[in-house]
Structures are given as structure tokens and as C-alpha cells.
Structure 1
Amino acid sequence: MRSLEDSHHGTRGSRQAQARRVGAYLTAVAIAAGYDVRRRQGGRAQLAAVTGLSLATVCRTLDGKTLPLPSQLTKWAAGLNLDHRVMLLESGFIPEQQQLHLAGREVAAAALSPDEAMNAWGITDPIIRRTLNGTIVHAIRLQEELDADGGREAALRG
């Protein structure tokens, strides 16, 4: 957890505003996901459990009192089933000038390794992971072969 006083970027006021924006965004997303994040309603403790963050960190973040660390943002995204990049943009964590730069074009999804994809899907059984990993690796190789042959096949069809 990063206290507002610890950040070396921006003024204290801009850091406080950013913490409030991130907190408001995560609160709205958590409510939309079915968590009752009002104090003493249990939703904050449930969020702590699904994100792996401490209850104090969850509370301070939702209340806009602190900015999450990058590793904590990843846990928020995983716990709430959010796309990390979308979360960064919509919460205002990425500065506005970068948002404007990205607004005119579609942001390509980052390539995931098979392990990252299985983690995101919540697949934990080692046998299923091994089987799926082999299938994904095989599918990637087949697609690469098709892409390499695609120009030749298109010329023959054209």
C-alpha cells in the first residue's frame, strides 16, 4: 500500500484526487459485481478474501485514502474479473493525456502465456492445466503455420 505522502509523482492534491478516483471506480465495480462494500456489511472482507489483500488495504483503497501498488491493482483486476488495462483507463490511473492518445485507436489485448490464461480462468488442477497447455501450444503452432502459408494460399485462390 502506498500512502499519499510516499508518492514522488504529482502534487499531494493531485495524488489525493487520483486516490479518490481509483477508490470510486473500484467501489462502483465491486458493487456492480454484487459486493456490499458499505462498512460492516461483509463485502469489504469478501473483497479482501478474493483479492488476497488485507482488509485494511481494501478499506483504505475503496475510501480513496491510498493509491494501490501495481501488484495490488493486478489483484483487484483478478478478484473482480476486470481487464487490467481497462481498469487503469477507467479508474483514471493512467493520466488523461495517455487516455487521449489511446482514445483514437483500439488497444490490442496483451498476449498471455498459457499459464497466465489458465490463472485468469481459475484453472488449478495440474492435469487439466497440462492438457490445456499442450492444446494451446499446439493451436499456436498451427496458427503460425497457417499464417505463414496464408500468403501462398491466397495467391493460389486469387
Structure 2
Amino acid sequence: MPAMQPTEDTASETTPAQRFGAVVHEAARRAGYDLTPGSGGRLALARDTGMSASAVGRMLRGETLPRPSQFQRIAQVVHLDLHELLVRGGVISEESANDLPRGVRSPITPEEALDAWGVTHPMIRKFLLASIAQAIGLQQESERGSFPPDENRGGGAVHMQR
């Protein structure tokens, strides 16, 4: 039997855990997590997904898959659609993913929003993506309780200058 030639898509030669780990690793890096050893990015990813640091490490190394209950939160944190995460990660096939109800899809990514809005200028995209990333970070701080309380809560009126 002739030796198998390497191809660009070596997905058939990897386990689902390895594929999933590679997809999450790349998406997390693009989402701003520095996953180099000692950088704190893995701990931040663990905190943001609600997983233990050791579970995140095993997932990123392709040793294990996370619990199914964690897939949605992982997709949100790394800015991937749940459908895309599960298919690209090798957890489900494209065919079986088509059977999923539309409600299991994650919100669109900031990049997808800019595409949908027709924002194509590179500098404007960069500015808006940075602003969105900052807003998401502030929202996460707020959810963890480490952000000052919303001064407008409690019935206070918001006044805007024209």
C-alpha cells in the first residue's frame, strides 16, 4: 500500500479532542488570550469559561474534550458560533449540525457584524473591533463584580447633550 501523502486537511489523522483543542486555541488567541506559558492567558480563559485551569490545559493540548454543558460558553468566550466550534472541532459532523435547531447558534462575532454592516475600511474596522473588545471586557468585569456599579440604575434618568 503506498504511503499516505500529507494534505492540508489532516483532520482525519487527529482525534476529536486534538481538533477541538486546536480550534479553541486559535480562536482564543484571536480573541486576545495570550496562551504562551506564564502569560496568564490560560487562567483568564479558564475564568471566563468557568472551567478549571487544568481542564483548559487538557483541552488546549487536545487530551480531552470539555463537558457538553461547557461548549456554549467556550464558543461565546472565543467569539465562535457554536455550530462552527462543534463542526470545526470535530465534535459533530456538518450533516448532523444541520439537524440542530437554529437556537443553538451563538451571537455573531464582531467581525461578522462589521461585515453585515458593510464596514470595509481597515482603519474603521480596527477602531470598531478595539472598541467592541474593550466593551466586552468591561461587561465581563461588571459580571464578575469588579467594575463600578452602573450609576444609572435605580431609576435615575440619563441625560444626553445634543
Q: TM-score range by the shorter chain?
A: 0.5 to 0.7
Q: CA RMSD in A?
A: 3.3
1:109 is the counterpart of 2:107: no
Partner of 1:134: none
Task: Check whether the contact 2:19–2:88 (CA below 8 A) recurs between aligned residues.
Answer: no
Between the aligned residues of both structures, percent identity stands at: 36
Q: Kindly tell me: are residues 111 and 19 of structure 1, through their superposed partners in 2, closer, same or farther at Cα, counting changes over 3 Å?
A: closer
- Report 1:42-81 matches (<5 A): 42-81=40-79
Partner of 1:18: 16
Letter in 2 for 1:48: A
Q: Is the 8 A contact 2:17 2:59 kept in 1?
A: yes
Give the paired residue count: 100
Find the counterpart in structure 1 of residue 115 from structure 2: none
The residue type paired with residue 63 of structure 1 is: R
Q: CA deviation at 1:36?
A: 1.1
Q: Deviations over 1:70-117 (max 9, x none)?
A: 112122112223221221112121136536xx4xxxx873289xxxxx
User: For 1:111 and 1:37, how far apart are their aligned partners in 2?
Assistant: 28
Q: Is the 8 A contact 2:83 2:104 kept in 1?
A: no
More helix by share: 1
The normalised TM-score by structure 2 is 0.51
Partner of 1:7: none
Segments of 5+ residues of structure 2 without an aligned counterpart are 1-11, 106-138, 144-149, 154-162
The DSSP-based 3-state class of the residue aligned with 1:41 is coil
Report if the CA contact (8 A) 2:82-2:104 is conserved.
no
Do the aligned partners of residues 108 and 75 (structure 1) sit closer, same or farther apart at CA in structure 2, a change above 3 Å counting? closer
| Structure 1 residue 40 displacement after superposition | 1.6
TM-score, normalising length from structure 1? Answer: 0.52
Counterpart AA for 1:110: G
SS of match in other structure, 1:76? helix
Q: 1:37 corresponds to which residue?
A: 35
Distance between the aligned counterparts of 2:104 and 2:77, measured in 1?
20
Cα distance in structure 2, aligned partners of 1:86 and 1:110? 14
